[in-house]
Amino acid sequence: MSGSAKPQAIGVSVEGVTRRFAHAVKGDVFAARDVTLDVAPGEFLTLLGPSGCGKTTTLRMIAGFEAPDAGRIAFGGQDVTRLPANQRGIGFVFQNYALFPHLSVAGNVAYGLRVRRVAEGEIATAVRDVLALVGLAGYESQFPAQMSGGEQQRVALARAIVIRPRVLLFDEPLSNLDARLRVDMREEIRALQRRLAITAIYVTHDQEEAMAVSDRIAVMSGGTIVQTGSAEDLYHRPATPFVASFIGRANLVPATIVATAGDRVTVEALGRRFGIDAGTRAWRAGDSARLIVRPEAVTLARPGEPGALQGTVAARAFLGEKIDYAIDCAGVRLQAVRYNAGPGDLLAPGATVALTLADDALAIVADAGMGVSR
C-alpha cells in the first residue's frame, strides 16, 4: 500500500457545530456548542479535554455517527453534514477497537474493501501489505479474541487505513493499553499518519499524548473549544486559566495590570512588576488578571541573591531526578520544581530561599477563575 500513489490529502472544516442532549435532571445539555475548527490537509489535529467536554461528540459528528443540531461540516470543501457515515470515506479507530468478533484478522481488515467490491486478489494483497505495515504480518487467520490489546489495536488501525480514508479519526485509541505500549503506539500512529499523509483528527484526555502526536491541539471544555494552537503555543501562551492548568502544571498568581504598551504589558504580582507579552487579549491598566508561572520557571537559590523574591520552603516531594517544592512567597503558595543536583543541594522545609521568575516564561490570563461553563 505504501508503494501506491497517495491520494491527495483534504482539509476538514467544522463550522458552528452544535449538539444538544435532553438530560433528565439538567434539562437541555450542550455536548458541543458552536464548535468551529479548520484542519489543514495532512494535518494531525487533536481534540483535548477532560471527560464530558464534548470532544468525542464532536469527533462522532465529523464521522457521521451523530448529526449536529446546527452547523456545517465539510471535507475538502464538500458539505458532508447530511452525508451518512458510510459515504464519507473515513477511517475510524474506536477506543474499544470494535473488532468484529466473528471475523478473522484478515476478515476484519478486508471488510471495508469487500464493501467497496474490490477484487478478491487485490484484497489479499492489500491485507497482506497493511498487516506488514502495522507489524502483524502472518496474523491473517487469527481471531480478535486470541490477540493481545496491542495487537487488537494494530488490527483496528490496519482496518481503518486499508480503505485509504480521506480522513482518519481516532477516539481515545490508546486508553485501553498499558503505559509503555501507549508511548510506542502513539509514535507508530504518528509515523504512519505522516507516511500516508492522511488528515487525522484524534481525541484524547491525555495532554502528554496530545503534545507528543499533534501538529495542533484544540482544547475543549464544556462543549466549546477554548483554544487552538501548537503544543508550545498552548503551554507558553494559554488563553485561559483552564488551558494553563490543563496543559502542564501552573501557578495562577493573582496579578494587576499596571500599564500597557503595544503587545507588552506591565503587571504587578507578588509585590513585584513584570514586563510580559500581552497575548491576544486587549488589556487596560487596572484590570485584574492571573499570572501564569510554570513550576520549572521558578528558579530557587540560596537567600541573598540580589533582586530576588524571598520565600519559605513549605514542603517538598523528592522524586529522584527532580524535587517538587511548595514555596510560600508574598502570601501565595507557589509550586516549584528543581532538578536534583545532588544530596547537598536539597532545601529543607522551613528554609528561606530566593526566587527568581524568568520574564519570558510568564504569561497573563484574565482572572475568570477556572470558570469555564460546564
Partner 1 sequence: MTAAARAAGGGRARADPALAFTVALLWIAIGLFVLYPIAMLLARVFVDHGHFTLGGVAALVTDRNQVAAFRNSLVLGALVGLAGTLAGFGFALAATRCRLAPWLVRAIDVAVLLPLVSPPFTTAIGYVFSFGPRGLITYDLLGIGNASVYGLTSTMTAEAITYFPIAYLTLRPMLAAIDSNIEGMARSLGASRLHVFRTVTLPLCTPGLANAFLLLFAASLADFATPLILAGNTFPVLPTQAYLQITGLFDLRGGAALSFALLVPALAVFLAQRFWVGRRAFVTITGKGAGQAPFDSFSPPARAVLCGACLALTLFVVYLYALLAYASLVTAFGANETLTLRHYRVVFSEGLRVLGDTLIIAAFATPLGGLYGVLVGYLVAKVRFRGRIAMEIASMINYALPGTIVGIAYLIAFNDPPIAITGTALIIVACYVFRYGATGIRTTVALLAQVDRSLEEASQGLGASGATTFRRITLPLVMPAFLAALGVMFIRSMTAISATIFVVSIGWTLVTVKILENMTELELGVAAAFSVVVVVLVFVVVFAIGRLLRLARAPGAPAVAGMLSA
| Position 115 contacts partner 1 (CB under 8 A) | yes
Measured from the CB of residue 92, what is the shortest distance to partner 1 in angstroms? 4
Binding to partner 1 (CB under 8 A) within 224-253 occurs at none
Helical packing angle, 120-133 and 105-115, nearest 10°: 130
Binds partner 1 by CB under 8 A, chosen from 32, 48, 53, 60: 60
Query: Element (H or E) spanning 158, and its range?
Result: helix 149-161
* Count of residues in contact with partner 1, rule CB under 8 A: 33
With CA atoms as reference, report the closest residue to 43 among 174, 241, 200, 253: 200
| Position 66 contacts partner 1 (CB under 8 A) | yes
Residue 338 C-alpha cell reads as 528543581
Distances in whole angstroms, Cα of residue 130 to Cα of each of 96, 98, 127, 138:
20, 18, 5, 11
Using the rule CB under 8 A, give the single segment among 37-45, 58-66, 205-213, 319-327 that binds partner 1.
58-66
Measured from the CB of residue 325, what is the shortest distance to partner 1 in angstroms? 39
| Position 159 contacts partner 1 (CB under 8 A) | yes
Q: Identify the residue whose cell numbers are 507508530.
A: 188
Binding to partner 1 (CB under 8 A) within 8-37 occurs at 21
Paired residues of 264 in beta bridges: 261, 277
Using the rule CB under 8 A, give the single segment among 45-53, 111-119, 221-229, 363-371 that binds partner 1.
111-119
| Position 116 contacts partner 1 (CB under 8 A) | yes
Residue 358, CB-side half-sphere exposure with 13 Å CA sphere: 11
Measured from the CB of residue 364, what is the shortest distance to partner 1 in angstroms? 41
Exposed, middle or buried: residue 254 (CB in 10 Å: 0-12, 13-18, 19+)? middle
Residue 63 C-alpha cell reads as 464521522
Binds partner 1 by CB under 8 A, chosen from 52, 72, 143, 268: 143
Binds partner 1 by CB under 8 A, chosen from 10, 35, 123, 163: 163
Distances in whole angstroms, Cα of residue 217 to Cα of each of 18, 76, 293:
20, 20, 21
Measured from the CB of residue 196, what is the shortest distance to partner 1 in angstroms? 17
With CA atoms as reference, report the closest residue to 212 among 237, 234, 190: 190
Nearer to partner 1, 173 or 241 (CB): 173
With CA atoms as reference, report the closest residue to 282 among 263, 256, 266: 263
Distances in whole angstroms, Cα of residue 227 to Cα of each of 70, 243, 317:
21, 7, 32
Paired residues of 227 in beta bridges: 219
Using the rule CB under 8 A, give the single segment among 125-133, 158-166, 288-296, 345-353 that binds partner 1.
158-166
Measured from the CB of residue 207, what is the shortest distance to partner 1 in angstroms? 25
Residue 222 C-alpha cell reads as 464544556
String marking each residue 309-338 x if it binds partner 1 according to CB under 8 A:
------------------------------
Binding to partner 1 (CB under 8 A) within 76-105 occurs at 84-87, 89-92, 94-96, 98-102
Nearer to partner 1, 95 or 260 (CB): 95
Residue 165, CB-side half-sphere exposure with 13 Å CA sphere: 26
Interface residues with partner 1 (CB under 8 A)? Answer: 21, 60, 63-67, 84-87, 89-92, 94-96, 98-102, 111-112, 115-116, 143, 145, 159-160, 163, 169
